[in-house]
Chains A and B, each alone.
Chain A
């Protein structure tokens, strides 16, 4: 029997299961970002959940996306399966097979700390992490014990970061973040992208103690960020930019501790041989280096019933190559203060992101729930600081934005 829950939508389903329950829910988003130009986008995100049996279901998310991120009123339309996976669950374990978005990092919006999900940089940090994570095709196996769990991920055809093109509002302008080369093709330069290695493997074990938890894990697989080489195939032809996503090993460990009513979180990722871009007098190259990513965060209920979150990230390469494109050490600290009003219908959030280049992003965002179905976001974002900085590179992108979400 087939049960369609959502009114007005009938779905045909061929299934061997005896019974199935289908839930379809939608989220329609319209966003208008006011700057020197107007930037709109409309997206429809449909979630699908099919309860095939008591132990088995299928979940998916489809996104239809329309935006003019490529320039003034140049609409770009995209349809994308964000997630689609089948779950088989028993009492103590489950297996999820398909395209999924998995987040491992204990930190909020600190992209370098996320090992599993690649990210879409088209809207940079203006969007929440959940909206920019890119789904991956994988087998996801979880084993649950009373106070611990174990996860094994086998990623097939891993995704890599989606970087905005040169004429995008959020094109990377800082040379060190452009991996030392124009990362998108220009008229004179053709580009060739190496296919990342077919399989990535990751596993993590988490244990919960009284008052704190600890997790440790590893991942081996293709890098999300590229390195590049210029290849001259024919002397008469312009050189080809050859992008590579070299595999590397990462070990991760994280913990969270509660001290009184304050929560402290810390996370360390160690990569002994990650590949980084080098640039010697315009000769692009790469070099394997040892990388440490260390992040710490504190959450607490601040004065006047506010919620405060502060984070610090240190991204360090132990013995950097002399011509390495990026800095040997990069630091980012963030501060978020939010407060809810009117029975949580209204949320005001202030966020500040600062990198070591003294550049910053300051955001102030107000979210108001009109009804259970309709919410609006109003906000301003101000980038400033060094043009070479993570945030300062977007200088000129200061904007006020208005966003409306309708759930149905």
Chain B
């Protein structure tokens, strides 16, 4: 590391002008890329495009044509909507919107476009709800009609008839912002004393975000820049001193954004924070180098500029390199652990920005200093001399000294703060309310509040019911189950309405049967034929396209839209869980070939928030381990690494507590703070710790080291922390509340970790000294620290279990596969050939013994070739009870040792092959209780069946959510298995040869191909015997390495 630093320093001092020119040129190239920068403020940007919830939603959009709409509500302040002026306004706005570009005119819905259904036992009349004639006549007619059409209440008109809505779908969601602005412009025309027009919906939200980003770019970013410049001036009291740090800041911010643009990475809503973050962070290195420069200049005025730079860099290059590394580690851990592209890119490019700042600090800043020849700063002259007017450094040192003077008291206070923080942090909630990003006065917020309060809600959960056969969903049993499902969902909190085909069929049935409308109760025809006839009759009177939102044209897929009036994850989660549970346990248990899927915005939001929950804490742990390791390596001491980490651990806990107490929930933007705070916060610990080590090397006591080195170090750290805090606090002026919260938390974290480091670093070093002199505590320390490591790692060894399913699937084909005859004992020889994409082959040969019994399947695989694995033996007990974890042992011949090994997840690759552990142990069978099967095609030689995993846990465990299987009807062996993850085919298993051995159909050649890596594995079985008795003792752990 020092070699690199010395090399950079040498380069900088030898060729200062050339370096400045070259860096300016590179910066110019980066900056030029900014013209390519595009904004992507959609909420969908936060979710990977191949995420199952997105693919499910896209599938629904494809079949039913449903997209996230823009909602335009006309609210009247008179008695109701039934007056001529209102109806005219609605009619007029509807048609004006219809004529706009990018509008799906055929799917524009309002009272103007929707049909009114009227009929009796003999006839059915379908006509527009609002006819032109009504515009001049009384609106009473419409009122009466609406009362007979309960399906529109809550969806198109409020229950008290004070407002009605135009639902606008767009052809191209990417142009949503333009369409929203056009609709907004149109709406303004209709805002009168008696009518208020509200525009809401997901597209409107994206547009608002975009507007806010522009506002921030104009206000917050220049302000952050200006603040840092003022801070630099205050720190050094020299205008010239500000120049070189400004170059570093500009390079980091412009370079990063330019490279982002060149890489075609869009500017997301949270990217708005990136320039501010980089400005705040990148100034730190420059502050430390300049502080050292002025310090040496004050100490020895005779030193040349070159000598001053060399001395400054010799002192500061190692710590700033390490602190840059730790900050980058924080950002990279954030990038690595997040599945949300905006956060991933934020982490990656912030790390890149920190790197650019480091490179410029090490290379360009010295070159500028050399050419500028800075005059001494009065403030450092004061700091260096004992009679100092500048009290900051000494005051901070004295504060730090408190921990040595009153170790017990300070320890007690810190312990109290930590205990209180841990308690506070335990109250932290994970939630996200997108609409709360806007203040209550914002029109968008008012529009959403209005729709959620007066209508059924602005958020949709879609439930799709699918049948394997045509007309399948019109089956009366399915339909009655759908009605019950809707009734169940209607009872869920924050669900205000459900709408599906059943509601229309119930309406038609009421008309034909002459019943009066009974809201909340749906009576359906009692046969599939009757339902099909109702739909046919409707088609003859109007267009069947009226039901395009509810059913597909083959009558195989049905959509139920669930209206939810709350945007929060905490509120939506129970609805999703209840729906999943109901669908799994109660929905259509006796129906044949029926599958279901959740979709819609609510489902999408739920799933990515779930991922956020798991990825956040992983990210924090990874960041802690990474920066802890870097600090340990820097100081060559595990203990000092831990001590350096303590202030940031305390800080993060305090910030969690502050979040919990102030009601700030963990959400995408706030979740970023922890990893960033750790990466940045440890810098103070490293700088202070490094000073203490220098003191120790020179034979100083801790007190002497603090007295001697801390005034300058703490002063630099203070300006660093203060600069960071101030820079980040500028984000609180952002138009986006989510960035305001993010700014607040990082600011708090920066200042807290600085003050925590001031106390904890000396205290930790004192404790370490005491421990070293006490044998007993030495023992305890190592026992406890090692135990903590083991416990922390042990706790993170969480393995998800698949939920036991009791209910049997009904399809005979699957039962035939499941109950296919298998031998109780199997002995065979296996040749495994693994082939890479380039054709390179590797082979493994092994003897395999297997015993199947009622409790478990025991398998013993003893490798015979190649030499590297010869005699290595794997013994596996796969328990049929899925609640019991499988057991595995490996015999290592070189050590003659048997070792129990943790069982692998079912989807993990089996010993480097393309088969998974699940493929091996399932022996080409699949448990009907774990999949939802449907028949895709019947062929002469068998059936093509699709299996969809029933639970999310199972999907995670297996690594796929769907398989498509060709089942041979003669042997009931699956001859081809295609596995899909996130909608993509990734693995294909084929049975290439099957034989009937001892009366049992057996796959003798079977291959698996990974379509991503194009890696292939083939298993060839020979010497197969099902009748040779196998002594159970051979498959016992006691003799795995025996005879």
Seen from chain A, the residues whose Cβ lies within 8 Å of a Cβ on chain B are 25, 27, 47, 89-92, 94, 100-106, 129-130, 133, 142, 144-149, 206, 208, 211, 213, 256, 258, 260-265, 296, 298-303, 305, 307-308, 310, 312, 314, 327-329, 331, 333, 335, 340, 342-345, 354, 356, 358, 360, 362, 369, 371-373, 375, 382, 384-385, 405, 407-408
CB-CB < 8 A to A263: which residues of B? Answer: 900-902
CB-CB < 8 A to B782: which residues of A? Answer: 331, 333, 356
A145 touches B1033 (CB 8 A): yes
Between-chain CB contacts (< 8 Å), 10 pairs: A133-B895, A145-B1033, A146-B1032, A331-B783, A333-B782, A333-B789, A333-B790, A343-B914, A345-B912, A382-B633
* Shortest Cβ distance from residue B180 to the other chain A in the assembled complex, whole angstroms: 41
B797 touches A310 (CB 8 A): no
Q: In this assembly, does B137 line the interface, its C-beta being within 8 Å of a C-beta of chain A?
A: no
Seen from chain B, the residues whose Cβ lies within 8 Å of a Cβ on chain A are 618, 622, 632-633, 636-639, 775, 778-779, 782-783, 785-787, 789-790, 793-794, 796-797, 799, 801, 834, 836, 840, 842-843, 865-868, 870, 885, 887, 892, 894-897, 899-905, 908-909, 911-914, 1013, 1015, 1017, 1031-1033, 1036-1039, 1042-1043
Q: List 7 tightest A-B contacts by C-beta distance, closest first.
A: A344-B912, A300-B797, A130-B894, A261-B799, A333-B786, A372-B866, A149-B1038
B902 touches A103 (CB 8 A): no
Known contacts A145-B1038, A208-B1036, A343-B912, A384 near B868 by CB under 8 Å: no
B1036 touches A335 (CB 8 A): no
A25 touches B790 (CB 8 A): no
A300 touches B1042 (CB 8 A): no
Q: How far is the CA of A91 from the CA of B1042 in the complex (A)?
A: 10
Known contacts A133-B895, A144-B1042, A310 near B789 by CB under 8 Å: yes
CB-CB < 8 A to B908: which residues of A? Answer: 301, 305
CB-CB < 8 A to B785: which residues of A? Answer: 333
Give the most central of A89, A91, A358: most B CB within 10 Å. A358
A206 touches B779 (CB 8 A): no
Q: How far is the CA of A103 from the CA of B1043 in the complex (A)?
A: 17
Q: How far is the CA of A373 from the CA of B868 in the complex (A)?
A: 8
Q: Does more than half of chain A's interface fall in helix, strand or loop, or is it mixed? A: strand
A147 touches B1036 (CB 8 A): yes
Known contacts A333-B786, A358-B639, A375-B868, A261 near B633 by CB under 8 Å: no
B896 touches A208 (CB 8 A): no
CB-CB < 8 A to B866: which residues of A? Answer: 372-373, 407
Q: How far is the CA of A258 from the CA of B903 in the complex (A)?
A: 9
Q: Does more than half of chain B's interface fall in helix, strand or loop, or is it mixed? A: mixed
Given A300-B794, A345-B912, 11 other A-B contacts at CB below 8 A?
A: A90-B1043, A91-B1031, A130-B894, A144-B1033, A144-B1036, A144-B1043, A300-B793, A301-B908, A308-B793, A343-B1013, A354-B638
Q: How far is the CA of A384 from the CA of B797 in the complex (A)?
A: 30
B793 touches A302 (CB 8 A): yes
A301 touches B636 (CB 8 A): no
* Shortest Cβ distance from residue A294 to the other chain B in the assembled complex, whole angstroms: 10
A260 touches B868 (CB 8 A): no
* Shortest Cβ distance from residue B1032 to the other chain A in the assembled complex, whole angstroms: 7
B868 touches A407 (CB 8 A): yes
Of B636, B867, B895, which contacts A385 at CB under 8 A?
Answer: B636
Q: How far is the CA of A344 from the CA of B834 in the complex (A)?
A: 11
Known contacts A27-B867, A106-B899, A344-B912, A208 near B1037 by CB under 8 Å: yes
B638 touches A312 (CB 8 A): no
B636 touches A384 (CB 8 A): yes
B895 touches A129 (CB 8 A): yes
CB-CB < 8 A to B618: which residues of A? Answer: 303
Of A27, A129, A358, which contacts B637 at CB under 8 A?
Answer: A358
* Shortest Cβ distance from residue B693 to the other chain A in the assembled complex, whole angstroms: 13
Contacts across chains A and B counted by CB atoms under 8 Å: 186
Q: How far is the CA of A307 from the CA of B867 in the complex (A)?
A: 24
A372 touches B786 (CB 8 A): no
Of B639, B896, B900, B904, which contacts A256 at CB under 8 A?
Answer: B900
B902 touches A262 (CB 8 A): yes
* Shortest Cβ distance from residue B893 to the other chain A in the assembled complex, whole angstroms: 9
Q: How far is the CA of A100 from the CA of B1032 in the complex (A)?
A: 28
A211 touches B636 (CB 8 A): no
Of B789, B794, B867, B892, which contacts A25 at CB under 8 A?
Answer: B867
* Shortest Cβ distance from residue B222 to the other chain A in the assembled complex, whole angstroms: 41
CB-CB < 8 A to B639: which residues of A? Answer: 358
Known contacts A343-B912, A356-B778, A308 near B1037 by CB under 8 Å: no
Known contacts A89-B1043, A149-B1039, A372-B842, A302 near B1033 by CB under 8 Å: no
B885 touches A343 (CB 8 A): no
Known contacts A103-B897, A331-B779, A260 near B789 by CB under 8 Å: no
CB-CB < 8 A to B1032: which residues of A? Answer: 146
Q: How far is the CA of A302 from the CA of B799 in the complex (A)?
A: 9
B789 touches A335 (CB 8 A): yes
CB-CB < 8 A to B842: which residues of A? Answer: 345, 369, 371-372
A343 touches B887 (CB 8 A): no
Of B867, B868, B905, B1033, which contacts A301 at CB under 8 A?
Answer: B905
Of A91, A264, A329, which contacts B779 at CB under 8 A?
Answer: A329
Known contacts A312-B790, A356-B778, A262 near B799 by CB under 8 Å: yes
* Shortest Cβ distance from residue B800 to the other chain A in the assembled complex, whole angstroms: 9
A94 touches B1042 (CB 8 A): yes
B799 touches A296 (CB 8 A): no
CB-CB < 8 A to A211: which residues of B? Answer: 887
A101 touches B796 (CB 8 A): no
A407 touches B867 (CB 8 A): yes
Known contacts A145-B1038, A261-B903, A360 near B867 by CB under 8 Å: no
Q: How far is the CA of A101 from the CA of B636 in the complex (A)?
A: 36
Known contacts A25-B867, A130-B895, A305-B908, A146 near B1033 by CB under 8 Å: yes
CB-CB < 8 A to B909: which residues of A? Answer: 343-344
CB-CB < 8 A to A91: which residues of B? Answer: 1031, 1043
Q: How far is the CA of A307 from the CA of B905 in the complex (A)?
A: 12
CB-CB < 8 A to A261: which residues of B? Answer: 797, 799, 885, 902-905
A296 touches B1043 (CB 8 A): no
CB-CB < 8 A to A340: which residues of B? Answer: 912
Of A106, A145, A329, which contacts B775 at CB under 8 A?
Answer: A329
* Shortest Cβ distance from residue A366 to the other chain B in the assembled complex, whole angstroms: 16
* Shortest Cβ distance from residue B640 to the other chain A in the assembled complex, whole angstroms: 8
Q: How far is the CA of A327 from the CA of B1038 in the complex (A)?
A: 38
Q: How far is the CA of A314 from the CA of B1033 in the complex (A)?
A: 36
Query: Which chain B residue shows the least CB distance to A296?
Result: B790
CB-CB < 8 A to B905: which residues of A? Answer: 261, 301
Query: Which chain B residue shows the least CB distance to A334?
Result: B786
* Shortest Cβ distance from residue A96 to the other chain B in the assembled complex, whole angstroms: 10
Query: Which chain A residue shows the least CB distance to B1016?
Result: A343
* Shortest Cβ distance from residue B604 to the other chain A in the assembled complex, whole angstroms: 25
Query: Which chain B residue shows the least CB distance to A208?
Result: B1037
Known contacts A298-B793, A302-B793, A144 near B1039 by CB under 8 Å: yes
Q: How far is the CA of A343 from the CA of B1043 in the complex (A)?
A: 31
Query: Which chain B residue shows the least CB distance to A327?
Result: B775
B1042 touches A142 (CB 8 A): yes
Of A146, A298, A312, A343, which contacts B913 at CB under 8 A?
Answer: A343
A298 touches B797 (CB 8 A): yes
Q: How far is the CA of A397 from the CA of B779 in the complex (A)?
A: 28
Q: How far is the CA of A308 from the CA of B866 in the complex (A)?
A: 26
B1038 touches A148 (CB 8 A): yes
* Shortest Cβ distance from residue B1039 to the other chain A in the assembled complex, whole angstroms: 4
Q: How far is the CA of A327 from the CA of B637 in the complex (A)?
A: 20
Q: How far is the CA of A27 from the CA of B785 in the complex (A)?
A: 41
CB-CB < 8 A to A335: which residues of B? Answer: 789, 793
A144 touches B1038 (CB 8 A): yes
A25 touches B900 (CB 8 A): no
Of B632, B786, B840, B897, which contacts A312 at CB under 8 A?
Answer: B786
Query: Which chain B residue shows the least CB distance to A131?
Result: B894
CB-CB < 8 A to B787: which residues of A? Answer: 312
Query: Which chain A residue shows the least CB distance to B855?
Result: A210
Known contacts A103-B896, A312-B790, A258 near B887 by CB under 8 Å: yes
